[in-house]
Structure 1
Amino acid sequence: MENIWGTVPDWIAAVGTAAAFLWAVFLYSQNLRDREIAQARLLSIVSPPAPLQMIAGTILPSELKIIALAGDLQTSTHRGTGRVSLVLKEAAVAVDFHLTSTSDESFFIESIDIVRKDGSVLSVPNYWPDLPPRTDYKVTVLFPEDETAAGKYRIRFRDASGRRWERYNSRPVYKLPRRSGS
């Protein structure tokens, strides 16, 4: 009678080969995941922004990029130099956001929010540009005086491959699920 199932050493070799193949697939997928996370870590908010109370009449340098949710800005020209500045007509809370990318690929900003201690979210309007490779981007956001801008800063973005990520301040990144239809 012929042995159609093979010998014990044949079975051990087959199981060992299958286990080695599965282990290689596992290590490869871990390596891909680690590289994706490493890529997403290359975008961050530099030093968590601190809210700064600004009173009416404060002069802002004209070279600042500003998103004004409050403050009612007006322009002012300096006599003699002709230099133009922005002047706040009413009090506001200013928050400077500084994003930096050390990646060789672009990032696409979906949103930047302030998550307050009570869990409520103060959204910054989506005027964020797509960040090209190796870029620093600074913007000042003026909030209404009664809006507290203290809390954690959350950035949601996509990498060049379309993967969605979320990061609080300079904490580790978290991969978000893909949106339906994208």
Structure 2
Amino acid sequence: MHQLPPFAEALTIEWGTVPDWVAAIGTVLAFVVAAVAYAGSVWLSREAQARQVSMSQLQIDVVEAGTSLGLAQPMVLIGVPVDLSQPMPEGLVPGVRVARLKLTVVNNSDEVMGPVSLEFAALGARSFLRDAHGEIDRIQPHETATIRVVIPDHWYPMHPPLQVRMVFRDSAGRWWQRFENERVRSAPRRIRPAEHARKQAAKLSRATSVERTPAPKAGSGWRLVGNVKDGVHVAR
């Protein structure tokens, strides 16, 4: 009988018996099942924390044209769009009736949440208001943060029928969204604040060459942004 040379015998693979293969496959399957179960438990744990982030009832009051908003300097309006790439709201000019929006985000979870992005949409509308947007950098566990936005009142004499979508990131880097009081869900990339800012910046660069400079922060979680348009200083 022909024998293999020594070097060929060294390269011979021992495939093992059928029971060995069955045992190996069983071990691999057990590992896969354990990995899937662990990933599922981590996801449920993160979702449980995200469910503890909620919004208060949106407060809206209408300010008549010419009413002072109590600003320290003679600026016309005040707002909180931290996303500086947004186009300047065309409707915010002196003598325009505005709606003031106030919303509190409650973080009852055990971890830091943020950034938190808030967008507003008219009831039944298919898109969110372009100039009604605010962002909170972060909220500590078991704390709250309040955001304020001022927008033109396009609904007078009706009360602005607005709805809110909150998009936020947990401490593990996962993004979540909550629309009104609906259940929290995973947030797709297209609605995350960073992606939103990139798209708005591209839109702004196409629409105008006006350069905007952010003013210093004016309180926890919100800031003022000044713009000059047609010689009128408008605070967003």
**TM-score bracket, shorter-length normalisation:** 0.5 to 0.7
- Higher fraction of strand: 1
Q: Deviations over 1:109-168 (max 9, x none)?
A: 352111332212114344534212211223443321216853431112222233332221
Instruction: Say if 1:108 and 1:130, in contact at 8 Å, map to a contact too.
Output: yes
Q: For the residues of structure 2 that align with 1:162 and 1:10, how far apart are their CA atoms?
A: 42
Structure index of larger Rg: 2
The aligned counterpart of 2:198 is none
Given the alignment, which residue of 13, 32, 35 partners 2:42? Answer: 32
Given the alignment, which residue of 20, 23, 28 partners 1:10? Answer: 20
The aligned counterpart of 1:159 is 170
- Show structure 1 runs of 5+ residues with no match: 73-88
Secondary structure at 1:121 match in 2: coil
**Does the C-alpha gap of structure 1 residues 71 and 34 become closer, same or farther in structure 2, counting only changes over 3 Å?**
farther
Pairing 1:134-173 to 2, within 5 Å after superposition: 134-146=142-154, 149-171=160-182, 172-173=184-185
**Does the C-alpha gap of structure 1 residues 174 and 127 become closer, same or farther in structure 2, counting only changes over 3 Å?**
closer
Deviation for aligned residue 1:26? 0.8
The aligned counterpart of 1:99 is 105
Pairing 1:36-51 to 2, within 5 Å after superposition: 36-47=46-57, 49=58, 51=60
Q: For the residues of structure 2 that align with 1:30 and 1:127, how far apart are their CA atoms?
A: 30
The aligned counterpart of 1:176 is 188
Equivalent AA in structure 2 for residue 154 of structure 1:
R
The aligned counterpart of 1:118 is 125
2:125 aligned with 1:108, yes or no?
A: no
Deviation for aligned residue 1:99? 0.6
Instruction: Say if 2:134 and 2:149, in contact at 8 Å, map to a contact too.
Output: no
Number of equivalent positions: 156
Using structure 1 for the length normalisation, give the TM-score. 0.65
User: Percent same amino acid at aligned positions?
Assistant: 27
**Does the C-alpha gap of structure 1 residues 145 and 169 become closer, same or farther in structure 2, counting only changes over 3 Å?**
same
**Does the C-alpha gap of structure 1 residues 150 and 130 become closer, same or farther in structure 2, counting only changes over 3 Å?**
same
Deviation for aligned residue 1:29? 1.1
- Higher fraction of helix: 2
Using structure 2 for the length normalisation, give the TM-score. 0.53
Q: For the residues of structure 2 that align with 1:11 and 1:162, how far apart are their CA atoms?
A: 40
The Cα RMSD (Å) is 3.4
**Does the C-alpha gap of structure 1 residues 53 and 71 become closer, same or farther in structure 2, counting only changes over 3 Å?**
farther
Deviation for aligned residue 1:20? 0.9
Q: Deviations over 1:90-121 (max 9, x none)?
A: 63223321210012322223521113322121
- Show structure 2 runs of 5+ residues with no match: 1-13, 72-76, 80-91, 196-236
Secondary structure at 2:38 match in 1: helix
Secondary structure at 2:25 match in 1: helix
